């Protein structure tokens, strides 16, 4: 049986914060694993957290086919805000077209920022979605 990894306190607090927001919000760990998204994000994603579960970055972002708003071409990983926050450890914002799991295409604005426990200790990200 695999050992359960303890979540960092900052991630626990970020989850609590997100759970009290009416704004669609997701939280990842330092590896990009989606560890939580709030009820408001369920409408954007087209499914619930219990249906998706903890999922790695590549898998959960690919499920929504993120595309450039202007060209409708697939949005490269280096332009996806959560990926930028994880890799470059800085905030990022982008307008994106996604197709939710329920088949609905949506244009959204995405803002992501890194979460630090200490100046040099990245523990995850918070990503906020706004419907355009």
| Separation of alpha carbons 32 and 83, rounded Å | 8
Q: Supply the pTM of this predicted model.
A: 0.89
Q: What is the DSSP string of 77-125?
A: GGG-HHHHHHHT-S-EEEEEEEE-TTS-EEEEEEEEEEEEEETTEEEEE
Nearest alpha carbon to residue 125 among 4, 21, 11, 48: 11
| Separation of alpha carbons 51 and 60, rounded Å | 12
> How many angstroms separate the Cα of 70 from the Cα of each of 65, 74, 95?
15, 11, 9
For the segment 27-79, what is each residue's pLDDT rounded down to a tens digit? Answer: 999 999 999 999 999 988 888 999 888 888 888 888 888 999 999 999 988 89
Q: Is 54 helix (H, G, I), strand (E, B) or coil?
A: coil
Would you state the pLDDT for residue 58?
Answer: 83
| Separation of alpha carbons 56 and 131, rounded Å | 24
Would you state the pLDDT for residue 2?
Answer: 52
For the segment 67-123, what is each residue's pLDDT rounded down to a tens digit? Answer: 999 999 999 888 999 999 999 999 999 999 999 887 888 899 999 999 999 989 999
For the chain, which domains are there?
Answer: 9-131 (3.30.450.20)
């Amino acid at each position: 049986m695999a050992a359960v990894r303890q979540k960092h306190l900052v991630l626990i607090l970020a989850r609590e914060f997100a759970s009290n927001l009416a704004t669609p919000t997701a939280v990842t760990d330092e590896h990009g694993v989606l560890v939580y998204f709030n009820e408001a994000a369920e409408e954007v994603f087209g499914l619930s957290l219990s249906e998706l579960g903890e999922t790695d970055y590549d898998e959960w972002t690919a499920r929504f086919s993120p595309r450039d708003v202007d060209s409708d071409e697939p949005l490269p990983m280096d332009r996806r805000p959560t990926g930028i926050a994880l890799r470059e450890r800085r905030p990022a914002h982008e307008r994106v077209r996604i197709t939710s799991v329920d088949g609905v295409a949506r244009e959204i604005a995405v803002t992501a920022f890194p979460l630090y426990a200490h100046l040099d200790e990245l523990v995850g990200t918070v990503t906020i979605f706004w419907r355009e």
